[in-house]
Amino acid sequence: MVFSDFATLPPEVISTQIYVGPGAAPLLAAAAAWDGLAAELHGTAASYASVISELVGESWQGSSSESMAAAAAP
């Protein structure tokens, strides 16, 4: 895609470029990709929080576990 200075083009050319462009499909595809990434990040954050709380709550006791949990908290 070539970007040009719109101030140098007549309105008819700009209008034609808008109507013959790719449409909304690329924007919809990008939105779907961002939704997928957001879902993956949400799952990763939930898993991370679960591991930290399990580690501090069951396996690791003491002040060092509290320090680690405080450092790892969002």
- Note down pLDDT in tens along the chain; length 74 residues: 566 677 889 999 989 988 998 999 999 999 999 999 999 999 999 999 898 888 888 888 888 888 888 888 77
Per-residue pLDDT, 52:
87
- What is the 8-class DSSP label of residue 41? H
Tokens of 26: 């690329």
Unique residue bearing structure tokens 């576990």 = 65
State the burial class of residue 55 (Cβ atoms within 10 Å of its Cβ: 0-12, 13-18, 19+): middle
Q: Is the pTM of this model over 0.75?
A: no
